[in-house]
Each structure stands twice: as C-alpha cells, then as structure tokens.
Amino acid sequence: MVRGIILGGLAFVAVFAAERQFENLSKDIDRYNSLREMSGESSFFKQALKSGLDLLSSFGGSGGGDGLSFFAAMQQDVVRYARISAM
C-alpha cells in the first residue's frame, strides 16, 4: 500500500511537471510561429512535418541534405529568435 502511494505521488509529480513544461513550451512555440509568420514562412509544425516527410522519402537515398538543411534552418531561426527577444 505504501508503495502504491509513493508511486502515485511520483506519477502525479511527473505529470504536473510535464504539464508545466508543455504550457511554457506552447507559449514559446506561439511566439516562434508569430515570428515565422512575420517573415513570411510557414509554421514550425508544418516545416517540421514537411522536412520529416522529405527526410523519410529520401531515406536510403544518396544523401541527407534535407535533414542538414532543416537543422541549419532551425539554427538560423533560434539565432533570429534570440536576437529579437534580446531587443
């Protein structure tokens, strides 16, 4: 019985922490999407889905250029977001 109470408490803490992280992450993703919209680009999830599908479709092909270009674009977006948030 004590074991169940301890495991239940740990599960509650894990779910509570995950919910708080998701709430904070959703605010950041909303800001990120608004910055991408101002730049005339599609939302983060659309780009991630498109890049993921492109990567999967070319899996086993000659190169991983799509994956590398996705990470390069993400790096540029993070730098741009940091620059704008520092203003």
In tens, the pLDDT along 31-78 reads 888 888 888 888 888 888 888 777 777 665 555 555 567 777 778 888
In tens, the pLDDT along 51-64 reads 877 777 766 555 55
Q: How confident is the model at residue 6 (pLDDT cuts 50, 70, 90)?
A: very high
Which pLDDT belongs to residue 71? 75
pTM greater than 0.75 (yes/no): no
Q: Which two tokens stand for residue 20?
A: 């708080």
Which pLDDT belongs to residue 13? 94
Tell me the CA distances in angstroms from 26 to 1, 11, 15, 23, one per residue in order. Answer: 37, 22, 16, 5
The burial class, CB within 10 Å (0-12 / 13-18 / 19+), for 81 is middle
Q: Which two tokens stand for residue 48?
A: 């991630």
- Find, among 86, 78, 73, the residue nearest to 32 by Cα: 78
